[in-house]
Structure 1
Amino acid sequence: MEELTAPVDLGTPGGLLNPAAVAFSRTPLHRPVVPSGARGGWRTKRWEYWGILTPELAVGLTIAHLDYAATLQLYVFERSTGKEIRVDPLKLLPSYADISLPDTLPPLTAFGSFGGSSLRFHDADGGTRLTASSPRVSADLFAEADGDVLGVVVPWSGRRYQYTLKDVARRVSGTVTVDGREYSVGGEDSFAVLDRGRGRWPYSRRWNWGAGAGTVDGVRLGLQVGGKWTAGTPATENALIVDGRLHHYDGELEFQYDLADPASAWRVRGEWIDAVLTPFHRRVAATNAVVISARTWQAFGTWTGTARTPDGTEYALDGMGGWIEEARNRW
């Protein structure tokens, strides 16, 4: 797949895919303007997801607008106690007073506030400030921007396409408060991952997504793998980031896992990678609300294995924290 080196519009004013946007980038270069509502066929999806993993917590923060519905999601898993907290208000036919997900190049500010929860992601000062509040969970975090990202456009057709941006190895610091207990976040074993999405989707799609980060043998690594939803297109969302430098890979990967066994390992294999994530916890999330049906199995754990850069240099992934998932959506 070709690399994009200058800004480009994702779509045309009429909502068709711009063929020049079908490429990958190592900085955010796609201007993801897509039509919404009836003008867009009610298929436009926008979201900002931040996943945070620390020695004490797994955290997920989501702001999503699906045209005919919006959702805010706060998820926390306390690793020492096994306690899970899910806060996920859903609003049908939302207004843009409730939620904002700009179709612009960074820096940008995304926010959502309804159902007793508020989230705000604001780019400034060399990173992104992540704040969240709800009756049981609050967060005030800073995810430092440092190094390449992966931006890529997946084209299913001229009218159905997705821009995804994955930033998988950000250092993160701050605090998360869970039921009145404050956790300090920071250090080499804590990291944040951004998953940004803008596009016009088919009604039904299934995907795998995995991410990881850590310092192994003195090298700072970020791992990004995905599949199923990109099959049959020229695009992939597979990459290894080595000390801030992105290496993008064409070709689909093989994912092996057993959804019936929450403790079982997940394996990812391809020409450049052979890796296993061993879970310490698996989250299962489901939504069923009229026209929206979603189910996700997300395993948090530790990576082992190897990955190679295009020049043949092999890197051990042993000990990197991360997660991997299967998601099935009808939306």
Structure 2
Amino acid sequence: MTEKEIKKNVNLCDEKGNLNEKSVGWSRSPIFNLNLKKHIFRKKRWNYWAFINDDCLFSVTITDLDYAGMAFIYFYDFNTGYFAEKTITTLFGKDVKISNEVYSDTIFDNDKMKIKMIYENEKTKIEVQTNDFDSKHFKAELTVYQPKDYDTLNVVIPWDKKHFQFTSKQEGLACEGFIRLDDKKHILKKDFSFATLDFGRGVWPYKISWNWANAGGHSEDKRIGLNLGAKWTDNTGMTENAVVIDGNLIKISEEVIFSYDKNDLIKPWKLKTKETDKVDLTFTPVYKRHAQTNFVIIKSNIYQMIGYFSGYIKDEYNNKIYINKLPGCSEEHFAKW
């Protein structure tokens, strides 16, 4: 598979709001002008953040689907197995402030939960507060470091001229701060904590499914960020597959096959490249998250496994980078939206 690397700024859409074919490709920084317009009630915009270390996993998302706004958080404790999550849905994006720029502010301001994602000087500061998170008071204050010389994966996926997606997947970012549930405080230290950004803007088909895997950690004294996907990019000529090693991105221009037992998702998964041996990973789940949404015309069913990746990925020189118990997630998602 040949994927075009884009090195100059380019508009995502043409004057009619349809896909600009010149934007189809990938880049190491978000140089796309996301001039997303028209397509009333079909646009999807979200900022998903996840934070992971040996102690815990925390995720926070703000989404605008044109006809609905959503915000959700979830938390998993690797030591105790404790898990909790909270979702709020509003009509027509009420309480959501979101833009089409990757490095910008995103806010959800609701009487049940408040989320701020504020970008300034190559850092995003994230604050989350809610008084009823599994009957607990929840507060998080986190800082993510996004230096300009740190490669990110930025891809335009073309289904057709009226359906397309820009995604910025930023993996293995350094982060620090705290997460507090009542009186229990979890500290994230910069050298041992890893953040993921899934920034999405596009016009989607109503019905779609996907697999997504991401992870962050240290392996062979290297800082590793991993992003692998499947199904939703099939037959588009593009993938969202890449690994970031010490801030340098290696694009994997090949489909990755997710093999798993759909009747027993807690069993180990296999993730392998379709044509070569560039990726050969085993994902071992330790927790199964199941979330469903049924809100007017939004229907979503996600099984997200939390666990560890082991195996190897080859770098651009065909050298194997061995991975051992890299913490992360792998998911199966069906959506009508």
Superposition TM-score tier, normalisation by shorter sequence? over 0.9
Within the candidate set 185, 193, 196, 2:196 is matched to 193
| Partner Cα distance (2:111, 2:159) in 1 | 34
Asked if 2 retains the 8 angstrom alpha-carbon contact of 1:89 and 1:115, the reply is no
* SS, match of residue 20 in structure 1: helix
Counting only pairs closer than 5 Å after superposition, residues 94-173 of structure 1 correspond to structure 2 as 94-95=93-94, 98-104=95-101, 106-135=102-131, 136-146=137-147, 147-173=150-176
| Partner Cα distance (1:180, 1:86) in 2 | 18
Asked if 1 retains the 8 angstrom alpha-carbon contact of 2:70 and 2:93, the reply is no
| Partner Cα distance (2:39, 2:158) in 1 | 16
Given residue 80 of structure 2, which amino acid in structure 1 is its aligned partner? T
Counting only pairs closer than 5 Å after superposition, residues 1-331 of structure 1 correspond to structure 2 as 1-35=3-37, 39-95=38-94, 98-104=95-101, 106-135=102-131, 136-146=137-147, 147-270=150-273, 271=276, 272-331=278-337
Given residue 81 of structure 2, which amino acid in structure 1 is its aligned partner? G
**Unmatched tracts of structure 1, length 5 or more:** none
Given residue 224 of structure 1, which amino acid in structure 2 is its aligned partner? N
Asked if 1 retains the 8 angstrom alpha-carbon contact of 2:53 and 2:217, the reply is no
| Shift in alpha-carbon separation, 1:207–1:218, aligned structure 2, 3 A | same
Given residue 144 of structure 2, which amino acid in structure 1 is its aligned partner? A
Residue 120 of structure 1: how far off its partner (Å) = 1.2
| Partner Cα distance (1:187, 1:320) in 2 | 17
Given residue 233 of structure 1, which amino acid in structure 2 is its aligned partner? T
Residue 17 of structure 1: how far off its partner (Å) = 0.4
* SS, match of residue 243 in structure 2: strand
Residue 254 of structure 1: how far off its partner (Å) = 0.8
Seq. identity, %: 29
Asked if 1 retains the 8 angstrom alpha-carbon contact of 2:256 and 2:272, the reply is yes
Residue 124 of structure 1: how far off its partner (Å) = 1.8
Residue 139 of structure 1: how far off its partner (Å) = 0.8
User: What per-residue deviation string (whole Å, max 9, x for no partner) do you get for residues 172-229 of structure 1?
Assistant: 1100011332211115442110000000000011011111122211122211100100
| Partner Cα distance (2:16, 2:208) in 1 | 24
Number of matched pairs: 325
| Partner Cα distance (1:263, 1:175) in 2 | 29
**Unmatched tracts of structure 2, length 5 or more:** 132-136
| Partner Cα distance (1:219, 1:263) in 2 | 28
What TM-score do you get using the length of structure 2 for normalisation? Answer: 0.93
| Partner Cα distance (1:304, 1:267) in 2 | 10
| Partner Cα distance (1:264, 1:115) in 2 | 40
| Shift in alpha-carbon separation, 1:116–1:164, aligned structure 2, 3 A | same
182-191 vs 169-178, which moves further: 182-191
Given residue 44 of structure 2, which amino acid in structure 1 is its aligned partner? K
| Partner Cα distance (2:138, 2:33) in 1 | 33
Asked if 1 retains the 8 angstrom alpha-carbon contact of 2:42 and 2:204, the reply is yes
